[in-house]
Amino acid sequence: MEFVLNEGGSFRRYVDILSDSGFKAVFGDEKNTDVIIDFLNMVLPAERRVRSLMFSRTEIPGFTATNKAVRLDLRCESEDGTHFIVEMQQTGQRNFFRRCVQYAAKVYDSNSRSGDRHYDLPPVYLIGILARDPGFSRSGSVWDGRYISEYTFREKVTHDIADETISIIFVELYRFVKGEAECSSESDCWWYSMKHLKELESIPPTFGSESLDRLYRASEIAQFDIEKRLKYEEDMISERDYINILDTAEERGLERGRAEGLEQGRAEGIAKGVAQGVSKVARAMLESGMDIKSISSLTGMTEEQIRALRPA
């Protein structure tokens, strides 16, 4: 057993598969195609089993109005032409669901052939692995114990699916809270492993299955060849730098927000104090018998505000 020394002096045997660098090291390596197939078959509908895969271009050219391309985390294709996109999402993001729909729709549209009048387009599945809540609403008992959600085109009342076109599936790991001893199914063991892999020293003894063995072997840093190890470490450094930039920006934003909040609080406090002082003066004038119109003219208060100062 070999562990890798990380920044900060800690040792880690496995990659953090929920990080960009860890995800690419495992799911972005064609040598781990069997692991990707295992994962897909864990989340796809029972009738949509994957037996073989080939990697596809992750770049979608001409994605935006300015003709810029977008790069997907993982894109592959099964033997029948079905496309699978796997996206890792570590943080909440505005309009995340819409982005997923747009990615899937672009890939679906790219399958069309010029002159094809039959629209014989293979389906597209986008699977999002969510480490954080992107802003979904998950209230009610129907969501208890559910970590997989699926969206597609369905008839609103009968829920019938007219055809297999675009499907979006989310693996919501941020909602998976089971401990190791509570994992009673292979899918439980998969979600626990993906969420906690970076902290583990070995595969838990109760997690014995071929698919999990493959996942843990593919994620073991010491088993990477030299080229992959260097690429992984380079990606980790870039990712840490990027995270530090975001953290610094967030801290500065919080500090600025605190300062502005204090300043606003001072201003509001002063305004409140002035208003209270004016009210006291107006009440004294009222008690002395001065007419309301005169008090209003002298204090700037409305006649209605002054009437409210009268004892009940």
**3-state SS of the chain?**
CCCEECCCCCEECECCCCCHHHHHHHHCCHHHHHHHHHHHHHHCCCCCCCCCEEECCCEECCCCCCCCCEECCEEEEECCCCEEEEEEECCCCCCHHHHHHHHHHHHHHHCCCCCCCCCCCCCEEEEEEECCCCCCCCCCHHHCCCCEEEECCCCCCCCCCCCCCEEEEEEEHHHCCCCHHHCCCHHHHHHHHHHHHHHCCCCCCCCCCHHHHHHHHHHEHHHCCHHHHHHHHHHHHHHHHHHHHHHHHHHHHHHHHHHHHHHHHHHHHHHHHHHHHHHHHHHHHHHCCCCHHHHHHHHCCCHHHHHCCCCC
Q: Give 31 or 64, the one with higher predicted confidence.
A: 31
Q: Give 190 or 287, the one with higher predicted confidence.
A: 190
What are the structural domain ranges in the chain? 4-224, 227-312
Q: Give 13 or 282, the one with higher predicted confidence.
A: 13
Contact 169, 44 (CB under 8 A): yes
- What is residue 286's predicted lDDT score, i.e. its pLDDT? 77
Is the per-residue pLDDT at 75 higher than 90? Answer: yes
Of 164-168, 256-260, 306-310, give the lowest mean pLDDT range. Answer: 256-260
- What is residue 181's predicted lDDT score, i.e. its pLDDT? 95
Closest CA to 219 of 35, 76, 11, 10: 35
- What is residue 271's predicted lDDT score, i.e. its pLDDT? 61
Is the per-residue pLDDT at 161 higher than 70? Answer: yes
Residue with tokens 């009268």: 310
- What is residue 4's predicted lDDT score, i.e. its pLDDT? 57
- What is residue 65's predicted lDDT score, i.e. its pLDDT? 59
Is the per-residue pLDDT at 98 higher than 70? Answer: yes
Is the per-residue pLDDT at 276 higher than 70? Answer: yes
- What is residue 28's predicted lDDT score, i.e. its pLDDT? 92
Return all residues near 210 (Cβ < 8 A) that are at least 6 apart.
Answer: none
Is the per-residue pLDDT at 9 higher than 50? Answer: no
Q: What is the pLDDT of residues 99-150, one digit of tens each?
A: 999 999 999 988 765 455 567 889 999 999 999 888 888 888 888 888 999 9
Closest CA to 135 of 99, 94, 101: 94
284-301 mean pLDDT = 78
Residue 11: both structure tokens together:
């040792």
Q: 77 pLDDT band (50/70/90 cuts)? A: very high
Average pLDDT, the chain: 84
Question: Residue 62 carries which side chain, given as an amino acid letter?
Answer: G
Is the per-residue pLDDT at 174 higher than 70? Answer: yes
Question: Residue 105 carries which side chain, given as an amino acid letter?
Answer: A
76-95 mean pLDDT = 89
Q: 153 pLDDT band (50/70/90 cuts)? A: very high
Residue 25: both structure tokens together:
């090291």
Is the per-residue pLDDT at 185 higher than 90? Answer: yes
Q: What is the pLDDT of residues 220-272, one digit of tens each?
A: 999 999 999 988 888 878 766 655 655 565 566 666 666 666 666 566 655 66
Is the per-residue pLDDT at 196 higher than 80? Answer: yes
Q: Percent of the chain, pLDDT > 70?
A: 80
φ, ψ at 151 (rounded to 5°): -130, 135
| Exposure string over 238-252, b if 16+ CB within 10 A, otherwise e | ebeeeeeeeeeeeee
Contact 22, 198 (CB under 8 A): yes
- What is residue 269's predicted lDDT score, i.e. its pLDDT? 59
